[in-house]
Chain A
């Protein structure tokens, strides 16, 4: 397919924006987590390093960089070193197919004696709009298991291996429920592309022909069950409480990253928060209407697009706050109850939800 310099430059710009946002999530979320948990637990939290403890993340990063990097004697050196990089893979790549703004038309401009954007050039704020959009996310998210399993095994430590096997069994079980719950939204949109899913949610439901509510999937009664299943499975996929058997402080020392120190541990830490951000972006896209601003038919111009990007960020931030809130509220589930929930409760319910959505579509209520 013919592409020219303009396409390449704009693609690089999109990648820079997305990567910049994603890599900055970790320090911000660390601060939010620590202050938020302090708020919930009625204590001050970090408030010494800078105003409201805002520079705490920098202090943490400095500590991670300056710490001594220890590799255990019995560990398999190569695998021990590349395991944290496996963990980053799903977080950094799944964000590439998530649309974060309204596509807008770039008018032809004459700069430095050369005309840019001749004809109808649409700037689509999504790094890679592939035909199989959501399947790519599921494919890359399922590769996240390898980071944990390799880290646990390469540490050559019983507790690490145990934590790693439990965590990876949990992750692959809840992947099924996650995928099937997302299929309901795909049925409503009729396409695998995430941009199509968001465009379908820019329309409206008319109740009693009078009240107009935006056709976000979370407002459609057929998808409430799948919304609950998806959000809970997102918690399980990112190994957050109440499903954090991978880390399980006070049970497994620190689970699969017991033997990791300094920069490698920081990479695991980062990959967890980035996976959280990517999952929140996915929840926002599938259920909360993506970049859609409710009750406004956005014109496809640049300032409307910037507003939609802002709204998308707000939705992602809201879901991240829910992640933090749930972590400090709900206790950890016992492991066999967790597995039973994934296989015996969520999987059948996700199937039932697909049938319900198919019924709604057949009756043209969606």
Chain B
């Protein structure tokens, strides 16, 4: 195990792949994010909320487009780095935020989260100090069962203790005692101390966003900025969980979610710009617990539905539109008039996890 500044700390060896899972909590309206342009059923069900065919941003020849509030993300699609999955979701029929989020984060009617199981069981899993991070206040269900995971709101969480001088003395003595330790804790300690040093470097000059990326000040953009810093610092980060909350648009939907879409789009585009060529080994997955009712309600909002939307960015994969947006005729809608689930979210995740080294563990990650 090397102790030089260029050593690899990630459990996935030279690959240094990182998975960023962005959860849009509240049930994002797939039909606004990815409007089914040219579908008469859509326009008649959404007299005030539909995105016009003229204003929607084209996704090649697909029968759906992107909301005009997401022009930065559209540029990512045009550059071949974004996959859009319409009408995707789980088999949840409760339309309850809690149950649907739980189900999607657990990966079925199973205990623990799929990301936690991925980290624990993937081929050659060697969890390190900074393998998994949840950016936020609490550990999300998706990371439940991870062998080691850190919840943090800011990078300051990592440095040992709250003090300054006294702690660095302590750290030096830990290095000395563990440096001589003949057990398996010796090398583990050296990796950990090195990760601490690298995190300490972040925040010093030159570690800000690169390539002209300019993140917003909101907590989502801030989280992405810190994730990019940690990826660049090569501290062994394999998975990041990050939420963008507030998609439950029962009322005045446009006013509510247009700024959210802009935030999502700008945040992701800046993250990609920031990491540049490193994006080939970083995959961002964007998901939400369910989509919303096709027909708008009387308060210019929409209610809980089924099929929603997912995005995949980066990972060195050529972007496209995955699966298809069904034509929203009355006959094919499910329940009280919802977009059917054409693509199961797990089928979208599986190839991503394989690329990130799931190997023979897929049966444990998604046991259903």
A is bound by B = no
Interface residues of B (CB under 8 A from A): none
